[in-house]
């Protein structure tokens, strides 16, 4: 691990007043939640997302989505926040981090203690009936679905769709708007575990960079923003992010 990069990142956090984090699937892979785009191991390397995770397919053949997402949901339920989740929550509790913009649907940020989490791609907490529009807590059918694989239905007879964003669906407007406001307001952006290839999440670092805001990228693989970022680290997130937060705390203790 590059200690100079750790110290530089800590200094940037120390100097900032409004830090915003953008997190992707790589933030949760150490917790056992697979990502989508890694060559060979990513979920989309095994199945065509348009066959199992598009709104068009869901409308015509919902079982394809439920059969595919069932084992993934089990993994998410069994997953625990990792050290990077905990470090990010700690940064918020210390008053530096103002928001987490996440592409993840696993709620590990919230379970680690993060309070302001903007979920761009939705979540599993609630489901909406495709027929009558009723919103129900997913936990009302979760155990039965995981045990039997039966497609969940509303009392009106419509199919209940978890409130995750499928291909072909619009992102939640209020969440997207709030994320754009944070990208415009931040004076430091952390990009953690994101390949920065999925829109519109990939536009947020651009918003920051256009305002000459420093960007720190922590990701296993290179991104097309690396050359423009102030700090880039391709090491294990469970090591780098806690080390940066610890170095920031040490700086604060010295100043006091």
pLDDT of 24-50, one tens digit each? 999 999 998 886 554 444 454 465 666
**CA 226, CA 80: separation in Å to the nearest integer?**
29
Q: Is 121 a catalytic residue?
A: yes
Residues carrying CATH 3.30.1600.10, the chain = 38-78+122-164
State the CATH architecture for 1-33+81-121+172-256.
3-Layer(aba) Sandwich (3.40)
pLDDT at 49: 62
Categorize the per-residue pLDDT at 233 as very low, low, confident or very high, splitting at 50, 70 and 90.
very high
State the CATH architecture for 38-78+122-164.
2-Layer Sandwich (3.30)
pLDDT at 255: 65
**What are the tens digits of pLDDT across the range 134-176?**
999 999 999 999 999 999 999 999 999 999 999 999 999 999 9
Of the residues 121, 123, 224, 234, which is catalytic?
Answer: 121
212, 40, 178: which is closest to 102 by C-alpha?
178
**What are the tens digits of pLDDT across the range 50-107?**
677 899 989 999 999 999 999 899 999 999 999 999 999 999 999 999 999 999 999 9
Residues carrying CATH 3.40.50.1220, the chain = 1-33+81-121+172-256
Per-residue pLDDT for 121 more than 90?
yes
95, 86, 115: which is closest to 242 by C-alpha?
86
**What are the tens digits of pLDDT across the range 175-216?**
999 999 999 999 999 999 999 988 888 999 999 999 999 999
The number of residues in the chain equals: 256
């Amino acid at each position: 691990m590059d200690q100079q990069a750790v110290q530089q990142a800590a200094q940037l956090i120390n100097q900032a007043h409004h830090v915003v984090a953008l997190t992707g699937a790589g933030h949760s892979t150490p917790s056992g939640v697979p990502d989508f785009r890694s060559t060979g191991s990513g979920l989309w390397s095994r199945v065509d997302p348009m066959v199992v995770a598009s709104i068009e397919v869901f409308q015509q053949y919902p079982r394809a989505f439920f059969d595919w997402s069932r084992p993934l949901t089990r993994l998410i339920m069994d997953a625990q926040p990792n050290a990077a989740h905990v470090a990010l929550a700690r940064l918020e509790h210390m008053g530096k981090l103002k928001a987490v913009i996440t592409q993840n649907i696993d709620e590990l940020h919230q379970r680690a203690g993060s309070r302001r989490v903007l979920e761009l791609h939705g979540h599993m907490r609630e489901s909406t009936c495709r027929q009558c529009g009723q919103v129900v807590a997913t936990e009302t059918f979760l155990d039965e679905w995981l045990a039997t694989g039966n497609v969940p239905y509303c009392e009106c007879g419509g199919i209940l769709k978890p409130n995750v964003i499928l291909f072909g669906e619009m992102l939640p407007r209020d969440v997207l708007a709030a994320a754009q406001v944070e990208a415009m307001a931040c004076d430091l952006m952390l990009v953690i575990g994101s390949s920065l290839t999925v829109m519109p999440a990939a536009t947020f670092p651009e918003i920051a960079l256009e305002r000459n805001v420093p960007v720190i990228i922590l990701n296993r693989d290179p991104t097309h923003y690396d050359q423009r970022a102030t700090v880039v680290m391709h090491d294990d997130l469970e090591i780098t992010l806690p080390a940066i937060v610890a170095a920031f705390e040490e700086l604060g203790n010295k100043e006091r």
